[in-house]
Amino acid sequence: SQQGEEDPQALSIQEGENATMNCSYKTSINNLQWYRQNSGRGLVHLILIRSNEREKHSGRLRVTLDTSKKSSSLLITASRAADTASYFCAPSGAGSYQLTFGKGTKLSVIP
């Protein structure tokens, strides 16, 4: 399995603003997943984008994938205080069920 690296490590925005976080990885993937972790809780699966997809939406979430640059971005529109959490990306290669997590992006949304 391979690890994604999230950037920035920390992000602070005002409620209502958009939040963008990025993920880079090193080898080819089958899919890439984004997870959210609220303080002291387990991770929650947000969205999965396959290697043949370029963009995917889910509610206020928009994920893009650029396999040529080996990067992905997660955009949260019209952020809310409840979006305050750490966000992790997890690239998944062929034949591997295993996900490896980086340090994540810690998002703080200020009311």
Partner 1 sequence: EAGVAQSPRYKIIEKRQSVAFWCNPISGHATLYWYQQILGQGPKLLIQFQNNGVVDDSQLPKDRFSAERLKGVDSTLKIQPAKLEDSAVYLCASSVGSEGYTFGSGTRLTVV
22 lies in the site for partner 1, by CB under 8 A = no
Least distance between partner 1 and beta carbon 69 (Å): 22
Indicate which single residue of 20, 67, 73, 100 sits in contact with partner 1 (rule: CB under 8 A).
100
Site for partner 1 (CB under 8 A): which residue of 20, 24, 30, 73?
Answer: 30
Q: Which residue has the tokens 């529109």?
A: 77
Torsion-angle region of 108 (φ positive above 0: left; ψ -120 to 50: alpha; else: beta): beta
Q: Of 45, 54, 57, 80, which lies in the binding site for partner 1, with binding defined by CB under 8 A?
A: 45
Q: Whole-number minimum distance, CB 92 to partner 1, in Å?
A: 5
| Residue 98: Cβ-neighbour burial (10 angstroms; 0-12, 13-18, 19+) | exposed
In three-state secondary structure terms, 88 is strand
Six-digit token pair at 82?
A: 């409840």
What residues line the site for partner 1 (CB under 8 A)? Answer: 1, 30-31, 33, 35, 40-45, 48, 88, 92, 96-104
